[in-house]
Amino acid sequence: MNRRRFLAGSGAAFAIATMPAFAAPAAETMIVHYDPGCGCCSAWVGHMREAGFAVETRATSQINRIKARLGVPPGLASCHTAEIAGYVVEGHVPAEAVTRLLRERPDATGISVPGMPIGSPGMEVPGMEDDAYAVVLFEGSRSESFARYRGVARTDP
């Protein structure tokens, strides 16, 4: 299996190589922080539950403070922030990308879909063409492409 290393020299090679793969997405509960005034967040939560994730939601008027506490760079922010297995999942990330994150266990803070791309999970708009967008792996101010999608369909190999 190809294991990704995000930060060179992290010493995580042994831990990643010996860590068991997740048998199912619901192995840990995902906690989703969201602004109660946002409607698309519940649609994304539905997408995650349909994919087999156990999800707990927490409405908050302090979403930006939570993003800052969890290390989400402002340029990668979206409308909701989730936590699972020590990772941050920011925005309308497809369940497939979260499953991959949990399987590969890269040395990173988390993944993000910046903004709110049309067609991403929770942002489906009938009659509008789906946007192409990237899922970004991040750690501090460093980031790199983790996967590319159009709607919920992955476009990279």
- The contacts of residue 86 (CB under 8 Å, 6+ apart) are none
pLDDT at 69: 97
In a domain, 21, yes or no: no
Record the pTM.
Answer: 0.84
In a domain, 136, yes or no: yes
25 pLDDT band, cuts 50/70/90, is: low
In a domain, 69, yes or no: yes
Task: State the Cα angle at 81 between 75 and 82, rounded to 5°.
Answer: 135
In a domain, 14, yes or no: no
- What are the pLDDT digits (tens) for 88-141? 999 999 999 999 999 999 999 999 999 999 999 999 999 999 999 999 999 999
In a domain, 133, yes or no: yes
In a domain, 39, yes or no: yes
Which residue range is the domain that position 79 belongs to? Answer: 28-154
pLDDT at 39: 85
- Residue 42: exposure state from Cβ atoms within 10 A (0-12, 13-18, ≥19): middle
CATH of the domain at 60: 3.40.30
What six digits make up the tokens of 57? 């939601």
In a domain, 148, yes or no: yes
In a domain, 63, yes or no: yes
pLDDT at 26: 52
- What are the pLDDT digits (tens) for 68-100? 999 999 999 999 999 999 999 999 999 999 999
Per the structure, the count of domains in the chain is 1
- What are the pLDDT digits (tens) for 35-78? 988 889 999 999 999 999 999 999 999 999 999 999 999 999 99
Task: Please state whether beta strands 54-59 and 80-84 pair in parallel, antiparallel, or not at all (unpaired).
Answer: unpaired
